[in-house]
Amino acid sequence: MSLSVALSHQFPGFTLEVNFTATPGLTALFGKSGSGKTSVINAVAGLLHPDQGRITADNTTLLDTRAAINLPPHRRRLGYVFQDARLFPHLTVSQNLAYGRWFAPKTPNLKNGGPNFDDIIDLLGLNALLNRRPTALSGGEKSRVAIGRALLSNPALLLMDEPFAALDEARKAELLPYIETLRDQTQIPILYVSHALAEVARLATTIVVLDQGRTLRAGPAADLLADPDLAPSLGIRAAGAVLTATVTAQNSDGLTQLHTHGGPIWLPKIAVAPGTKLRIRIAVQDVILARQRPEGLSALNILQATITEIRLSEDGALIQLGLGPEHLLARITRRSAEALALCPGQTVFAIVKSVAAAQTDVGTR
CATH number of 40's domain: 3.40.50.300
Domain assignment present for 234: no
pLDDT at 111 over 50: no
Encode the chain in three state secondary structure. CCEEEEEEEEECCEEEEEEEEECCCEEEEECCCCCCHHHHHHHHHCCCCCCEEEEEECCEEEEECCCCEECCHHHCCEEEECCCCCCCCCCCHHHHHHHHHCCCCCCCCECCCCCCHHHHHHHHCCHHHCCCCHHHCCHHHHHHHHHHHHHCCCCCEEEEECCCCCCCHHHHHHHHHHHHHHHHHECCCEEEEECCHHHHHHHCCEEEEEECCEEEEEEEHHHHHCCCCCHHHHCCCCCEEEEEEEEEEECCCCEEEEEECCEEEEEECCCCCCCCEEEEEEEHHHEEEECCCCCCCCCCEEEEEEEEEEEECCCEEEEEEEECCEEEEEEEEHHHHHHCCCCCCCEEEEEECCCCCCHHHEEEC
Residue 192 domain-assigned (yes or no): yes
Q: What percent of the chain has pLDDT over 70?
A: 94
Residue 91 domain flag:
yes
* In-domain check, residue 230: no
Do 104 and 144 lie in one domain? The reply is yes
Whether 198 and 93 share a structural domain = yes
Q: pLDDT at residue 356 above 80?
A: no
Is position 14 within any domain?
A: yes
Domain count for the chain: 2
185 and 49 belong to one structural domain: yes
| 81 and 191 share one domain | yes
Domain assignment present for residue 185? The answer is yes
Range of the structural domain that residue 245 is part of: 240-364
- Average pLDDT of the residues in 295-320: 92
Domain boundary among 179, 195, 225: 225
pLDDT value for 170: 82
Residue 141 lies in a domain: yes
Does residue 331 share a domain with residue 263? yes
Indicate whether 180 and 290 sit together in one domain: no
Rounded mean pLDDT of 79-85? 87
- Quote the mean pLDDT of the chain: 90
Give per-residue pLDDT as tens, 318-327: 999 999 999 9
At residue 36, the pLDDT reads 94
pLDDT of amino acid 357: 65
